[in-house]
Amino acid sequence: MNKQKDDLGSVIDRYSDCLYKICFLILKNEHDTKDVLQETFLAYYTKSPEFTSEEHKKAWLIKVSQNKCREFLRFHKKHACLPLNEIDESFMMIDGLHHEERELLSLILNMDYKRKSVFILYYIEGYSVEETAQLLRISVSAVKKRLQRAREALRSDYKGEVTYE
């Protein structure tokens, strides 16, 4: 049992930052993100899955966290509402972001789940189109189309915001 606890501790240390970023961009709330991470690590602890590599373990954790985010959003879509101004206020508290970065982050956060999930995995986490398709259990063509639509939405919404120095 101690070995299992030690393993959980090392998994949390190793992957919590990555999972936090992904879940926060999807859920837009620190407390909800922490709840999802807790559920993700609890699933890891209780299921004790076997992995072929560290990359397999990371992919499993990302997939579980994505599923937990989706479940959370589905539940709260019916039961709760978070005002947009509260989300904007939380971004103003992030140090070191320029105005353009805040605008872009805001646009990403306001994407629908389908576009946002592939955008984050592909552009922010660096997964390939094929890996993103496997993680989300969708086709490669669906990933490409969602990426295309996300880029088009960002391009049209961000068009007037870009400044060149």
Domain extent listing, the chain:
1-81, 83-160
**Looking at domain 83-160, which of 3.30.70.100, 3.90.930.60, 3.30.360.10, 1.10.10.10 is its CATH number?**
1.10.10.10
CA nearest to 27, candidates 103, 92, 111: 111
pLDDT (tens digit per residue) in 21-32? 999 999 988 999
pLDDT (tens digit per residue) in 100-158? 777 777 788 888 889 999 998 998 888 999 999 999 999 999 999 999 999 998 888 77
Return the CATH class of domain 1-81: mainly alpha
Question: Which whole-number Å values give the CA distances from 98 to 91, 140, 162, in the listed order?
Answer: 11, 34, 12
Alpha helices, H only, the chain: 2-27, 30-47, 54-79, 84-92, 99-109, 113-119, 129-136, 140-158
pTM of the predicted structure, to 2 decimals: 0.59
